[in-house]
């Protein structure tokens, strides 16, 4: 899947934001593979930008753990070990539980409608087997709930953890059984939030993450 540079009207407002979005999509979709060197000249030509916004985007991705820098060799796509994956998901479990507790207490009724809308987008993308669209819609679903806690610093911490594992989320969606499971679990998460049942909501989110971890454990062991 090679990406053509987008028309100027479709691009994000800055060259760095544009390059960052394109690199994220390429990494998530597996076009840029774990361990693959990132050649600045080739990427700058591909995206129609100078090397400056490219280096800025690399710095952001390095901070998220999506790329790594090796002296005298440059940047390459990061490899995520099972230990890294388990650590990221454990930290997410702790932080997201706090976000959910606060979101439920705030009781914003608009959140429920937005979650249902995002869940519908996830289902539609899954049905079309559009994994990039499904990944984006899934993030909207979860961050609709997380954002409802109205704690921007906490949300940013959780966002950085999500960004570090988006590639493997894409892998998880690669099988029909997992896509169907995501759809079913989203419905249960919505049901728990609608009932304002905090304990059940946290339990469902924990199971949702655990199913992904179990599947990815198998994938990482094989690769």
Query: Which tens digit of pLDDT belongs to each residue from 86-136?
Result: 999 999 999 999 999 999 999 888 999 999 999 999 999 999 999 889 999
Neighbouring-strand partners of residue 37: 76
CATH fold match for the domains 8-77 and 82-222: no
Q: Is the pLDDT confidence value at 10 over 80?
A: no
Instruction: Report, at the CATH architecture level, how domain 82-222 is classified.
Output: Up-down Bundle (1.20)
**3-state class of 36 per DSSP?**
coil
The pLDDT value recorded for residue 128 is: 94
- Please state, as a whole number, how many other Cβ atoms lie within 10 Å of the Cβ of residue 2: 6
Q: What percent of the chain has pLDDT over 90?
A: 62
Q: What is the mean pLDDT of residues 4-27?
A: 73
CA distance 208 to 189: 9
Topology (CATH level 3) of domain 8-77:
Arc Repressor Mutant, subunit A (1.10.10)
For 65-83, give the DSSP string.
TSEEEETTTEEEEPPPPHH
CA distance 47 to 17: 12
- Single pTM value for the model: 0.78
Domain ranges of the chain: 8-77, 82-222
Scanning the chain, the segments in alpha helix (DSSP H) are: 15-28, 40-47, 51-64, 82-106, 109-127, 131-147, 152-164, 166-172, 176-194, 198-222
Check residues 199 and 9 and name the one with the higher pLDDT. Answer: 199
């Amino acid at each position: 899947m090679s990406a053509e540079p987008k028309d100027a009207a479709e691009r994000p407002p800055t060259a760095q934001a544009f390059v960052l979005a394109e690199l994220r999509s390429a990494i998530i979709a597996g076009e840029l593979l774990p361990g693959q060197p990132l050649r600045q000249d080739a990427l700058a030509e591909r995206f129609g930008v100078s090397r400056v916004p490219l280096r800025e985007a690399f710095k952001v991705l390095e901070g998220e753990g999506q790329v790594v820098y090796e002296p005298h060799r440059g940047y390459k796509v990061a490899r995520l070990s099972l230990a890294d994956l388990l650590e990221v998901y454990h930290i997410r479990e702790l932080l997201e539980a706090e976000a959910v507790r606060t979101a439920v207490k705030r009781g914003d009724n608009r959140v429920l409608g937005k979650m249902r809308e995002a869940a519908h987008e996830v289902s539609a993308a899954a049905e079309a087997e559009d994994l990039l669209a499904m990944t984006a819609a899934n993030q909207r679903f979860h961050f609709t709930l997380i954002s409802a806690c109205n704690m921007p610093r906490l949300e940013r911490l959780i966002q950085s953890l999500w960004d570090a594992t988006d590639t493997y989320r894409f892998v998880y969606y690669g099988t029909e059984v997992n896509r169907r499971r995501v759809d079913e679990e989203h419905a249960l998460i919505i049901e728990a939030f609608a009932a304002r049942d905090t304990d059940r909501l946290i339990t469902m989110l924990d199971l949702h993450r655990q199913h992904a971890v179990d599947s990815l454990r198998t994938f990482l062991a094989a690769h």
